[in-house]
Structure 1
C-alpha cells in the first residue's frame, strides 16, 4: 500500500516539473477561483478504467449457452460492465426505459472483484476508486435511457450520501426522489451507537418525460350520488394545515345562509382563504371586524366578487352538517362559562372559541354550529385517474399498518418482501445458496411495473443472480407484455478461482432454470436469450479482427431486431422484421440483385464490408449501402 501511494505521489510531482514558480502560483489561484459545490474525488491519483473510446468492443454470441431457439429478444452479456455498456451505447442508445442496478456498496470487505486491489479498508483511495468506478458506468448508462427513461439504484445508508452526490454529477438535473425499503425485520447486529440498520434506499434519476405509472384509485370513498351533476362524490376536510398566525385570511366565521348558522375556525387548522388568487383584500387590515364568509348582507342575491366561499357554497362544493348540535349564547357570561367547561365547538382538545380570541363578543346571540362544514369532491373533477406512488416501500408483512385518511390511498404504496424473500427464491431455484444478498423479486418487479410499458427494455448491468430478469418474466406473464431484458454480469474469476463464472453459472443459469421449471409457480415464465461475451479490438485491427458474426449481432441490436445466428456460409445474411429489413453483404452474389428488385427502400438497411464493390453490380438500382466498419465505429464513438 505504501509503495502504491509513493508511486502515485511521484507521478503527480512529475506533472508539474516543467512549470515555473509563477505558473504554479497561477495554477493554484485558478483552482481556488474554480472551486464548486459538490463531490470531489481523486480522479487523477487513481488507476481509472480505459477511456471510453480507447478500443472497440464487440460481442459474440455463444449458442451453447443461449437458451431457446433464435431469434432472441433478451440478452445476457458476460464481461466487464464498462465494456458491455460501451457496446450497448453503440447498439441501444436512447432506447432503454428502465435501468435498475444494485452496485457494490464499497464495504471494504472485498465483496466485489473490480479493482479489488484498492478495496483494502486501509487504502485512502478506496472511496475515490469506488466513485470513479461508478461514475464512468453511470455516464454511459445515462446515454442509454429513453427520453422517458429512469435509472433506479439500490444503496445502503453508509454510502447513500456519496452516491447521491456522485449521481448528481454524472446525471445533472435528473434527480427525482428516492424509495425507502425495509430490508429485514428484527435486526440485532447493532453498530457502536446501538442502532440496527433495517432499511436501504433506491435512488431515482430520470429523464424529463418520465413518470411512474401510479396506482388506480379505488373510489371506495365516493359513496354519495349527486342527481343534478350525475356524478359520485365524497366528503373531505375543508381546512388547511396552517394556523391563524400563518394564514390570517383563513381565520373567519363560516356562515350557512340556509340555516343562519355560524361555524368557528380551528385556530390550528384554519379555513381555506375566502378570496380568489390575486385578490388584494387582507383580513389583517380590518382588525375591528370579525370576518364572516359569505357576508351576512350578501346571502340574498349576488355573491360579491371577492367572496370565494359564497361562490363555492352556491356551486355545491361546500356542504354543512344536516344533524348537529347548535347553541345560542344570549350573553357574554354564558359564552365564557361554556368556554370554561369546554362546552364550545372543539377540534379534539382545542377550543374553537376561547377567552382571548379576537372579537369574542361576535359569537353572542349567534346560532353556533358544533359540526364541521365539508368539501365535496366529485369523481369527475379528479385531476388524475391514478394515485402517485409513495416513496415509502411497505413490507408485505406490514400492509395493514398503512395510515388511512382523506388524502391517503392504501393502494399507492409499493409493496415488497425483505431480503429473506430474495434468499429463499434463489434457494428454491438452485436448490442451494448460489448467490448471497439477492434482492427480492417483488421489490424489482413492482419498480419495473411502475416504470415500464409492455414493450419496453429493462437493463441491469450488475445483474448478479438475475432477479431483474425474473421480475420482467413475471410481469410479462401477468399482463401479456413483451418487455425485454438485458442482463450484464462478469465472471468474477480470481487468481484463487480462475474457473469461476458468475454470469454463466448463476445469472444465465437462473433464467434457464425458470424456463425449464416444472414448478407450478414458474409455469408461465418464459424468456429465451442470447448469451454474448464482450471482447476488445484495437481500432487499427478492426479490418482483420472484427468477425462478420460480431458485426451482425451489433447491427441487429442497432436496428431493434432480435438477435439471430450469423450464417458464415451465405454470401449475404437477411433479417426481415415486422417493419425493418436488414442485410449484411459479405461478398457479391447475383441473388442479392434479384432480391432487391421491387423492395421497399424506406425500411431497408444494407451493409457491406466494401460498399463500392457491391454498388458497381447494381446497374443503377438505387440502394443505400452502408459501410460496416465506419458505421459501427461512428456509433461506438458518438
Structure 2
C-alpha cells in the first residue's frame, strides 16, 4: 500500500524530473525510456543474466537495481557487436530518432466522448481518435501482451511530400538533403523511404509488445515498401517469427493499358512467438465443396513403393482390425503388398498374425498403432488415426479430421475488390476511395482467432473502419465475441459529408453494425456492435512543476485541469493504473459521495462534499483492490493520515 504523501514535502509532489509522480505513476528514466518499459527490460535481462545485476545511486541519493553493462558485455562475448563494425542490418537516416520517439512517455490521455459513441456503457469495443503513436504509447500498460490479432493497412509510400503522421523526428526536405548530401529530384531520394520507415518502425516496435504470445501481426503493403517493411519486421519480430507473405489478388480494373498491370498486393504475417501460434481453423473459401478437406474421415493406402520407400516386412498381429467382418486372403507374390502368410478374419479382426512385404508410406505410424494394442493414436497434426486391412489385402489408414481443422493458402483470391467495397459504402452515403475488402479482413481475422477466444483485434490505421465491420461479420458467422480497438487520425476529409476520416469511420461502424446485427447470425453471438469513442488529448491531471516552492504547494493540491469532468479524470486514472478503458463503468454513491467502479478500481473524483470517514468505512466493505481519490477532496490532514487505517489492509490507496 502507498502511504499518504506528506503535503509539505516537495518530492512527494513529483518535483524530481524523471521519477515517480505523486500518484506513483512512472514517467521516464534519464534516457527517454518510460520507467515501466525500462524496468521490464531490466527485469528480463536480470532473469537471463543474474550475475549482471547491481545497484546504482540516483542523483537524489536513492538506490535502485540496475544492469552492469560491462558484465553484460562479458557474458555476451563475441556475440556482442559495438561501434562501426560491419554487420547485417537495415539502416536509414532517422532510425535512432524513431526508436527514441517510440520509447518516450505518452504525455497524453484518452478523453471519453459519449455523444460520439454507440452504447457507451455496454460495449467492449473502442474507437480512438488521434495520433496512433500516442495511442500505442497510452495502451502499453492496459493491453500489454493481450492483443490476439493486429491488422493494419498503413498509408502506402507514394513519394509525396505530404505526410499524414507528422512525427517529431521528421525534418524538412532541404535539411534532409543537405545532411545526407543528396541532390536532384526529391521524389526519388532516400528521404521518402526514411520518413516512411521511421513512421512504421516506431509504431511496430510498440505494437509488438501488445501482442499475446500466440498473437499475430498482419500488414497490408504494396511493392514500393514491401522489401523494406519485411526487413524492419524481421528486426522487430525476429526472422524466426515470419509466418508468410500473403499475396492478395485485388482483381480490380485490369483492362487499362500498361507495360505490366499490377493486380496484387501483399499481407505480411508475423507471429509474436511462432511455436505458440496455433494452426488456422478455417478453410480457404475457394476450396471446392467436394474437396476431401471437408471429409470427416481421410482414408488412404499406406502401400507406397519407390526409392524413398524400400520394401520391408510388417507383421500384423492377431486382433489387427479389418474393414470386413469375415473372410480369408491367400498368400500372393504378384502384387503389393505381398502376403507371406495366409490371413483369416473373424468378427472384423485377424485371428492370427500375418506378414506383409511392401514399401510403406507411414511405417512408423503403423508400428506405433500396433505397439499401442491396435487402438487409435495421434499423427503429427494431432488427428486420431487407425489402420485396417481391406478384403484385397491392402492396409489403409483412417484419420479423423478435427472439427477445427483448417486449410489456408498463401494466395488470397475472390475476397472482394476495393471497387466493390466503395460501392457498398456509397450505399450508406459514405464516400471513401480504396477501402480494403471487408471479406478479406474477415477471412484473416477468422484465420488467426477462434470463436471461443474472446480475441482482441487492434487496427491503428483504421481508415474507413473495415476492421470493425470485419469483426462484426466474423462474430456473426461463428458465434465468437471478438472485440476491437481502432485508432484513426482526424485527417480532414473535405468535399464529403464528414469533417474528418475519423467521423467517417464512426459512421461506418454504426451502419455496418446495424446491418450485421439485423441479418441472420450465429446464436451465441452477443451482438455487441457498439463502440466507446475516446479522443487523444492533453492529460486531465497536471503534474506539479519541478522546483515549485514549498509555500506554493497548496496551489497545486487540486491537479485537475479546469473544464475536465469527473469522467475525464476517471479515464486518465484508468490509463495510469492499467485498467482497461473498455471496462464496464458503474456509477454509484457511497456515504453521500459520487464514485466510479471499473475493474478492480474504485474512484471518488468529486471533491464536493469533502471526504468523510464514512466514505472509507463503506468503501472498505466493498473490498476494491485499489481506491483512487483527489488530494483536493481532503478538508484537512487528519483524515488523510487515517485514510489507510480506515480502509484496512489489502486496499491500495492512491491520492492524485
Normalising by the residue count of structure 1, what TM-score does the alignment of the two structures yield?
A: 0.63
Q: Structure 1: how far apart are the matches of 2:252 and 2:94?
A: 39
Change (3 A) 1:43 1:254: same
Give the equivalent residue in structure 2 for 1:60: 111
Change (3 A) 1:438 1:307: closer
Q: Structure 2: how far apart are the matches of 1:551 and 1:592?
A: 19
Shift of 1:448: 1.3
Give runs of aligned pairs for residues 105-120 of structure 1, distance below 5 A. Answer: 105-109=156-160, 112-115=163-166
Aligned to 1:387, the other structure's residue is in SS state coil
Q: Structure 1: how far apart are the matches of 2:488 and 2:252?
A: 30
**2:101–2:202 CA contact under 8 A, matched in 1:** no
Change (3 A) 1:614 1:522: farther
Q: Structure 1: how far apart are the matches of 2:517 and 2:98?
A: 47
Give the equivalent residue in structure 1 for 2:481: 482
Give the equivalent residue in structure 2 for 1:261: 333
Give the equivalent residue in structure 2 for 1:267: none
Query: Per-residue CA shift, 1:477-506, capped at 9, x if unaligned?
Result: 344433221110011249x99998434421
Give the equivalent residue in structure 2 for 1:14: none
Query: Per-residue CA shift, 1:567-594, capped at 9, x if unaligned?
Result: 99985522256xx453344542444234
Match of 2:615 among 566, 583, 592: 592
**2:147–2:211 CA contact under 8 A, matched in 1:** yes
Give runs of aligned pairs for residues 223-622 of structure 1, distance below 5 A. Answer: 234-236=299-301, 238-239=303-304, 244=307, 247=308, 250=310, 258-263=330-335, 317=387, 322=392, 376-380=396-400, 384-396=402-414, 416-430=415-429, 432=430, 434-454=431-451, 455-493=454-492, 501-515=499-513, 521=519, 527-536=529-538, 544=559, 549-556=567-574, 558-560=578-580, 561-562=582-583, 564=585, 571-575=593-597, 580-587=600-607, 588-599=611-622, 601=623, 604-610=625-631, 614=640, 616-617=642-643, 619-622=645-648
**1:109–1:120 CA contact under 8 A, matched in 2:** no
1:146 aligns with 2:212: yes
Shift of 1:48: 8.1
Change (3 A) 1:540 1:108: farther
Match of 2:225 among 159, 176, 191: 159
Shift of 1:395: 2.9
Q: Structure 1: how far apart are the matches of 2:423 and 2:84?
A: 54
Give the equivalent residue in structure 2 for 1:181: 248
**1:63–1:531 CA contact under 8 A, matched in 2:** yes
Query: Per-residue CA shift, 1:371-408, capped at 9, x if unaligned?
Result: xx86623245x5x5433432335433xxxxxxxxxxxx
Normalising by the residue count of structure 2, what TM-score does the alignment of the two structures yield?
A: 0.61
Q: Which runs of 5+ in 1 are unaligned?
A: 1-28, 225-230, 265-292, 323-372, 397-415, 630-638
Shift of 1:58: 0.6
Q: Structure 1: how far apart are the matches of 2:516 and 2:417?
A: 26
Q: Structure 1: how far apart are the matches of 2:617 and 2:314?
A: 85
Bigger relative contact order, structure 1 or 2 (CA pairs below 8 A, ≥6 apart) = 1
Aligned to 2:245, the other structure's residue is in SS state strand
**1:157–1:199 CA contact under 8 A, matched in 2:** no
Q: Structure 1: how far apart are the matches of 2:294 and 2:503?
A: 55
**1:171–1:205 CA contact under 8 A, matched in 2:** yes
Aligned to 1:104, the other structure's residue is in SS state coil
Query: Per-residue CA shift, 1:185-225, capped at 9, x if unaligned?
Result: 5624465xx3222122211112233324413899985999x
Aligned to 1:163, the other structure's residue is in SS state helix
1:625 aligns with 2:652: yes
Aligned to 2:148, the other structure's residue is in SS state strand
Shift of 1:532: 1.6
**1:190–1:197 CA contact under 8 A, matched in 2:** no
Change (3 A) 1:620 1:532: closer
Query: Per-residue CA shift, 1:299-351, capped at 9, x if unaligned?
Result: 996759999769769879475784xxxxxxxxxxxxxxxxxxxxxxxxxxxxx
Aligned to 1:178, the other structure's residue is in SS state strand
Q: Structure 1: how far apart are the matches of 2:399 and 2:435?
A: 42
Shift of 1:142: 0.9
1:73 aligns with 2:73: no
Aligned to 1:510, the other structure's residue is in SS state helix
Q: Structure 2: how far apart are the matches of 1:101 and 1:49?
A: 22
Give the equivalent residue in structure 1 for 2:43: none
Pairs aligned (count)? 481
Change (3 A) 1:49 1:188: farther
Give the equivalent residue in structure 2 for 1:409: none
Q: Computing the radius of gyration over CA atoms, which structure comes out larger, 1 or 2?
A: 1
**2:463–2:502 CA contact under 8 A, matched in 1:** no
Q: Structure 2: how far apart are the matches of 1:222 and 1:32?
A: 54
Shift of 1:66: 1.9
Give the equivalent residue in structure 1 for 2:277: 210
Aligned to 2:220, the other structure's residue is in SS state strand
Q: Structure 2: how far apart are the matches of 1:306 and 1:261?
A: 11
